[in-house]
Structure 1
Amino acid sequence: MLCVVVLGAAAGGGVPQWNCGCPVCTKARGEAPDLQSTQASIAVSADGAHWFLVNASPDLRQQVTATPQLHPKRGELRHSPIAGVILTNGEIDAIAGLLSMREGSPFTIYAHQRVLAILKSNSVFDVLSEKNVKRQPIAVDHAFEPTLPDGSPSGIEVLPFEVPGKGAWYLEGKAHPAGKDGMGDTLGLRIAEKASGKYLYFLAACARVTDDLKSRLAGAPLVFFDGTVWRDDELIAAGLGNKTGQAMGHISMSGGHGAIESLAELAIGRKLFLHINNSNPALLKDSPERKAAERAGWQIPADGTEIEL
C-alpha cells in the first residue's frame, strides 16, 4: 500500500501570507479559517512506519507537529519516522524546511546535482552534518529506491523527470552554483510502491504541459499538479505583484493552455492541485473558479489529507 499525507498545499508564503490583505488571506484570518494552508509538501510511505518527504517547506515544523504519522515513536528520547527528503527544485519553499531538521536524527536528502550545489554553496545548510544527513544525487530519468536510515530498502521507487520550469528566483541574474546547464532545476516525480505497483505523480512546478508529460500522466491513478495561479496575469491584475505565472515558471489552472484543459482527456483517476498561491480565487469554495475546477474533476486538498493507493 502506498500511503500519502498532504502536509501543505499552498504556494510560497502559505495562506494567509504574513503581509497580505487580499480577499483570500483576509477570510483565512477571520470568517474562514479552513482556508489556512501551509506551503506545499507531501509525505509518502510504503509501510506506514517510515516516511519520505517530498520537499521541505518553511512550514515543516508546523506540518510535522500536525501529522501524527511523523511524530517520534512513543517512549523514544530521540526518534523520527522521517527517513529522507526528496527535493524537486531549489526554491525557498522547497528547501528552507531542511533547517528545521538539524537536531541530529539521520536521514538522506535526495536531489539533483544542481539543487545539491545550491545547498553546498550556502553554508547555513552545513548545520545538517553529513555524518547524519547524507546528500544523495539523483538523475533525470533514472529510477532509484530511497533507503531507510539503517540502509535497508524502503519499498518505494522514485523516477525523477524533467518538466518545463525555471531555476530558483533568488538566483536570477546570478551565476548558478552548478553552472549554466539548466536541466534538473525543475523535476517531476513518479513515486511507486514496488510490491503493489501503485503509483502517483508529483509536480509542484510546471510551466507548460508537453506531449511527453501527457504520455507520462495518462491513466495515472493519482496526480498532484501545480496549481499556483488561476490565470496567468493573476498577480498583476490583483495588484499583488508584477510577474505572470509563466514568468515564475508556473502554468495557470485555466485557459486554453492551462492545466485543466491540457490534462482533461488523460483518464487520470484523481487530480489534486497543490502549490496554490494566496491570490488564486479557486481557493474560495463558493467562487466560480472553484466550481469550474471541481466540474473538471480537480480537488484542492486541505492540509492533513490522507490518501491510500
Structure 2
Amino acid sequence: MTMRALILGAAAGGGLPQWNCAAPNSRAAWDRSAAPRATQSSLAATGDGSAWALVNASPDLRAQIMATPDLQPRPAATHGLRNSPIVSVLLTNGDIDHVAGLLTLREGHAFDLFATEAIHEVLDANPIFAALDPARVARRRVGLDAPFELAPGLRATLYAVPGKVPLYLEGETVETGLVGEQTVGVALSDGARTLQYVPGCAAMTADLAARLNGADAVLFDGTVFHDDEMIRECVGWKTGARMGHMAMAGPQGSLAAFAGVEAGRKVYVHINNTNPVWRPDAPERAEVEAAGWEIGFDGMEIAL
C-alpha cells in the first residue's frame, strides 16, 4: 500500500483570499484571475488507504472535508448513519489556524487527538475545547523523538523546530526562536518511506537540516518570500521573522538553507496571502521552481 498525503490547505492563517483583504494576491483570488484560492494550513495522510489522520485542524476544515471524498462518510449500509474515515488528529502547534478546526469535529465522532504536553496544556486551558467529549476524543500526550502509531500503517515522530508561542499567548517580550514542545515538525512513515511536514519554522538548524536530508518528501514553511513583504504590501507591520517564520529568500532563508538538503520532493506549504509565489508568472515563483521546489495547493496529493 502506498502512503498518501493530501494537502487540505496550502495557505497560512487567513487563507487566500483573506476575508478582509484586497491586496494584489487576494484581489486576484477574489476575481479568480492570476492567483488561486487556498484554504488554511492542514494535511491529511493515510498508510492503509482507508483510515486517515489529520495533521492540524484548520478553521476551514469542514470545507476541506467537503472538497475531499477520501475524508467523507462511507455508505450508511456498511458503516452506520454517522461515520468518518478520520481516526486521529495531530497538532504541530497551538496556532488558531491549526486548532480552531477541532471545534468542527465536536459532533460525537471518536478519534485520537495527539499533541505534545505543551500544546495539550494550551487546549486544556481553554474551556471551549471541552466541546470535544473526552469519552470519545482521547487526548494523547506524546513526547519528542518518540515514534507512535498515528493511524493504521502510519507512524509519526515529533521533533522540535524553532518557533514561538501562539499569537494569543504572546506577552510583552516575544521570543521567536524557542526550541521545545510548542512548535514541532512531524515525520510520517509507513516503514519504507518518510514524509517530513514542517508548516512552521523560524530558522534552520544543523540538526533540523540533517533530519530532513534524505526524506522522500519535505513539506516546509513557505509563509513569506521576502521577510518584510507584509510591510511592502502595506497590510501589516510584522516581518516573517517576527511571526516566527523563515522567509524563502535571503542568506538566512529556506532556499539557501536547503542548498545541501536532498529530498525526493520539496513542497512549500503554509503560504501567506502576500507571498508572490502564488502568482504563476511571478519571478519569485520561477526562482523557487528553479531551485527544485513545488508550490503546494489545496488538493495536491503526495503519493510515496
- TM class by shorter chain equals over 0.9
Indicate the larger mover: 90-99 or 296-305: 296-305
Aligned AA (1:234):
E
Secondary structure of 1:146 counterpart: strand
Q: Structure 1 length as normaliser, TM-score?
A: 0.93
Normalization by structure 2: what TM-score? 0.95
The answer to whether structure 1 residue 104 and structure 2 residue 99 are counterparts is no
What displacement does 1:33 show?
A: 7.5
SS in 1 for 2:180: coil
Aligned length: 296
1:143 is displaced (CA, Å) by 1.2
Query: What pairs up with 1:281-300 in 2 under 5 angstroms?
Result: 281-300=276-295
Q: Shift in Å at residue 308 of structure 1?
A: 1.1
3-state secondary structure, aligned to 1:267: coil
Letter in 2 for 1:239: C
The answer to whether residue 120 in structure 2 is matched with residue 123 in structure 1 is: no
**Equivalent position to 2:212, from 213, 217, 226:** 217
The separation in 1 between residues aligned to 2:31 and 2:233, in whole angstroms, is: 20
Give, in whole Å, the separation in 2 of the partners of 1:27 and 1:217.
34
* Partner-residue secondary structure (3-state), 1:6: strand
Q: Secondary structure at the match of 1:126?
A: helix
Q: Deviations over 1:158-188 (max 9, x none)?
A: 110000111101101189xxxxx97201000
**Secondary structure of the equivalent of 1:247?**
coil
Per-residue CA deviations over 1:21-73 (Å, capped at 9, x if unaligned) read: 11000000114286100001110001111000000000000000100000000
How much has 1:277 moved relative to structure 2? 0.3
Residue 193 in 1 paired to residue 190 in 2? yes
Match of 2:221 among 223, 226, 230: 226
Give the corresponding residue for 2:170.
172
- 2:98 and 2:70 mapped to 1: Cα distance? 21
Q: Distance in 2 between matches of 1:168 and 1:298?
A: 28
**Once superposed, what is the RMSD of the aligned Cα atoms?**
1.5
Give SS of 2:26's match: helix
Q: State the one-letter code of the partner of 1:131.
A: A
CA distance, structure 1, for counterparts of residue 302 and residue 252 of structure 2: 29
CA distance in 1 between partners of 2:257 and 2:45 (Å)? 27
In the other structure, the counterpart of 1:204 is 199
DSSP 3-state at the match of 1:161? strand
Q: Which residue of 1 aligns with 2:296?
A: 301
Tell me which of 243, 247, 265 is aligned to 1:248. 243
1:92 corresponds in structure 2 to 96
Which 4+ residue blocks in structure 1 deviate beyond 3 angstroms? Answer: none
1:253 is paired with a residue whose SS is coil
Q: Which amino acid aligns with 1:172?
A: E
Distance in 2 separating the partners of 1:32 and 1:74: 38
Superposition deviation, residue 285 in structure 1: 0.6
- How far apart, in 2, do the equivalents of 1:86 and 1:188 lie? 11
CA distance in 1, matches of 2:268, 2:64: 18
Task: Say if 1:167 and 1:182, in contact at 8 Å, map to a contact too.
Answer: no
State the alpha-carbon separation in 1 of the partners of residues 49 and 250 from structure 2.
39
